[in-house]
Structure 1
């Protein structure tokens, strides 16, 4: 599926009698009024959908087209399964004019050099980008009927549909990117939808640029790394990398690669003895038994090993066994 496929829901629709269209090779600029006028938003891409499923015999409805990309802000698409999936023709456009209370707003008209056909399950679509914010009330299409094979076209349905592009990247990771204070029991990573995603693929590992897929197609905005390779509980001063790819029906957007570092816990200092006459400001850099400027290193530890790490922030206290 290409970016911008017209796979969204119909926003409004209208109909016209296909049997009153002129026969091939003549075209008519047919105006179709929508049942419910809707507001289009400036800069947003929409799709004009035509289908002529209601017909007798082999009748077809043809929509005027041109193959040199005359409309720069959209593309023509075709579906052979009644709008379930679409294939883009990036150089072909079909003729249209959108109207708001009789005034032309977006103009995709041109001198046709060909046409595209619609019948049964074969539908056509033309995407366009709204040039301003306005309420669309009708649309004009350049149409004809083909009845040389027998039968007649009946109701032609035209709708305006939202298009769907690939999603935006996931945002706002927790832990924040390059965080250096992750505790050993922090097993859950979270993120926020950047827009348009319906599911997410989670990648995780200890080598940047070479991450492992650890969750595929999940709907939730969090993942628990406990119980997986390189997962929590962590060791002190380790670095982990992770990435969230956002997914929808139009494709996958690769996310940024984020990282975090677990907390450091300094080793317990061994004992030093202040030298007579020293001021206590000298470095702790003498080897055992060698007298320095201020301190003499005894090589012994006279401290009790700490068994818990305690932290307080935002009226909350964390206690961690270490």
Structure 2
């Protein structure tokens, strides 16, 4: 007579999860034993294996290396096309948080790729494109009245800089808005955003160098290139950001000299995109204002959401700490907005 096999009961769910968590964290002990403080930021306690995410136990240098690896994987994915690849890319960006751009300083020796628009930068010291990791696919773009450090990875600017002054603001007041958006043909096609990426996306094509800042009809037309745009929440763009732009223009009208404005996106958390070209949606936007004559700088970092609020501006040191963009290094900054 055949006997029936006894069914084995599945392992307890919480026990299985605990075992997986311990296994994934055990590597931290190995790294600590081999490399010591070069890898780990703090001595490991047994309880850390259960409570702490593995990344929290890595040193700052190791976390920076991990961020670079993630960004490198993302940049590789942009070289492939097709529906199946797009699905995989979307799933991957949910698992891998976006890395922040490395801090960079203005060049002191040469004007480099921004030679044609070096006058848009304080002391005519443009950003060093070579200081930006190639994983961001950085590209220098000069327009008549602003300069763009562009990323072929995000398909958006990284930083846009413009020189405002009383005379420029008076000129800009007489220029009619063109409203003719277009893809920037100066950018390689694989790195370029297109009009269709924004269509029905629920996001505005948000200017970083404002249309109302442009002192000529040619500059106005150039400001509508998608290389000057990021996907921006409509309410944020039309109310909050618009107010910041208007306040900055009012300040430039009163200032004794030139006022330099740096605007750009931040990408924090999981990467979200719009369109078939996967244009990155910023989690935050920043605006750094530098009064050259007064040697004062202040900044805003605002979530890219409809419910964002304008808060008290931060000083330059706080801005660098928050964003890792050291955009005024080597320049005199003695105060903030009073």
TM bracket (short chain): under 0.3
TM-score norm. by structure 2 comes to 0.18
Select the structure that is richer in helix. 2
Which of structures 1 and 2 has the bigger CA Rg?
1
Which one has more relative contact order, counting CA pairs under 8 Å at least 6 apart? 1
Select the structure that is richer in strand. 1
